[in-house]
Every structure is written in structure tokens, then in C-alpha cells.
């Protein structure tokens, strides 16, 4: 990890979400808000459609760097701003793209900046993970 440079891409991936993904996440998390699985409820409250859970999007984003880290216990801090919803179409689902770049370095830690996109839209703002550098 000492060869890290600011701006270097350390991990990237795409994740396909389906309505089934949302139902499974609801069961695991206990978040059964109907905006995550019912079009009629989402539309009634003014949403463009069924939305992925924010915490699901956040979790998928940070999971992108775990293989690169080799140990998720090296994650010191993680935070995001939820800026745009991820609408999950009933037939086509939704594709998320995550790119993880080194944003800052010091002697003991690195800040990894995550760019999380759905199509051409960045859906998480200021998505940053502070990780302990390997010994």
C-alpha cells in the first residue's frame, strides 16, 4: 500500500439491482417501507418509482473496496450524503457503478473517495472511506 498515489483507482465494479434485491434487503434489514417495493405507494408520495434503500446503496458502495483492503476491519470511518434516488425499474432493474480512488494520504491512513453512479447520475455525494494502511 505504500505505492498508493492520490487519484489512483483502487477498485471498481458494477452492481445490478432488481426488485427481488430490494425485497431481500428489506427482509435482512427490517426496512419494509413500501416505497422500496410498491409502485403505487412510491407514486402516491411523489417519487419517480420504487427506490433502492439508501443503506443498501451505501453498503454496496463500500463493499467495493473490501477485496482490495483484504480486511474490512481496516475501515476506520465511512460517510456519504444521499443526493439522488436509485429508481429500480420493475422489469429492467437498476445498475450502479462504483469507482474507488485515493483521495488523500497520510502516514497511517488513506481516504478513499467513492463515485457511485446510476446511469449518468451520481447518487451519493461526498462518499468517503478512511482506511488504515497495511503495516
Mean pLDDT of 19-41: 97
* pLDDT tens digits, 45-99: 999 999 999 999 999 999 999 999 999 999 999 999 999 999 999 999 999 999 9
- Cβ–Cβ under 8 Å, residues 135 and 71: no
CA atoms of 125 and 101, how far apart (whole Å): 14
Average pLDDT, the chain: 96
Q: What is the DSSP string of 72-132?
A: GGGEEEEEEEE-S--B-BTTTBEEEEEEEEEEEE-SSEEEEEEEEEETTEE-EEEEEEEEE
CA 2 to chain centroid: 26
Domain 9-132 carries which CATH code? 3.10.129.10
- Would you list the domain boundaries of the chain? 9-132
Confidence at residue 135, expressed as pLDDT on a 0 to 100 scale: 73
Amino acid at each position: 500500500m505504500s505505492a498508493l498515489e492520490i487519484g489512483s483507482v483502487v477498485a471498481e465494479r458494477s452492481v445490478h439491482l432488481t426488485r427481488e434485491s430490494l425485497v431481500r434487503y428489506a427482509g435482512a434489514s427490517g426496512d419494509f417501507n413500501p416505497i422500496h417495493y410498491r409502485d403505487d405507494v412510491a407514486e402516491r408520495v411523489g417519487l419517480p418509482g420504487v427506490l433502492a434503500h439508501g443503506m443498501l446503496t451505501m453498503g454496496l458502495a463500500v463493499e467495493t473496496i473490501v477485496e482490495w483492503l483484504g480486511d474490512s476491519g481496516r475501515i476506520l470511518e465511512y460517510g456519504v450524503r444521499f443526493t439522488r434516488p436509485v429508481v429500480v425499474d420493475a422489469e429492467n432493474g437498476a445498475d450502479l457503478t462504483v469507482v474507488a480512488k485515493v483521495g488523500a494520504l497520510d502516514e497511517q491512513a488513506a481516504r478513499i473517495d467513492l463515485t457511485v453512479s446510476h446511469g449518468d447520475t451520481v447518487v451519493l455525494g461526498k462518499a468517503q472511506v478512511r482506511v488504515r494502511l497495511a503495516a
